Amino acid sequence: MKQKVYYADTDAYGVVWHGAYLRWLEAARVELCEAMGLNLIDLKNNDIALPVVNLNVRYKASARLNDNLIIETSITKYNGLSVTFSQLIKSAETQKTFIEADIDVVAINNSGKLYRRMPSVLADAFEREVKCLQSV
């Protein structure tokens, strides 16, 4: 996913505010899910939500106003209960890494109850994605 840094994304020091990175990481995860055929509104309508339960972000450097970024997202682990997205935010021009992140999500119903196993629509999509990455 491509992302340009706008003035509203920066803090008083002229660098990207740390929360902006989290917003971009979430957008990139949503885009990957959509590319896998998972529509979050359809999931919600089918009593499925995907909350983040673990967020490990390593800030390597600061992006600045007008930087053009690339956000890379892949699924690196799926165990039937949770899925791990590994993400990088890099400069589109220099490939310098600004952020490395590993984010775990689980499936819950709309009342907040954890599914003991991922619903089949998710399990099938995540298993396909992991197999696809392993064959590369």
Q: Which CATH architecture has domain 2-134?
A: Roll (3.10)
C-alpha of 18 from chain center: 15
Q: Report, as residue numbers or ranges, the catalytic residues.
A: 11
Task: Provide the residue ranges of all domains of the chain, joining segments of one domain with +.
Answer: 2-134
Give the range among 50-54, 84-88, 100-104, 124-128 with minimum mean pLDDT. 124-128
Which residue, chain included where needed, has tokens 């009593």?
47
Give the pLDDT confidence of 57-78 residue by residue, as tens digits: 999 999 999 999 999 999 999 9
Question: Hey, CA dihedral for 37, 128, 92, 8, is it positive or negative?
Answer: positive
**CA within 13 Å, CB half, 90:** 11
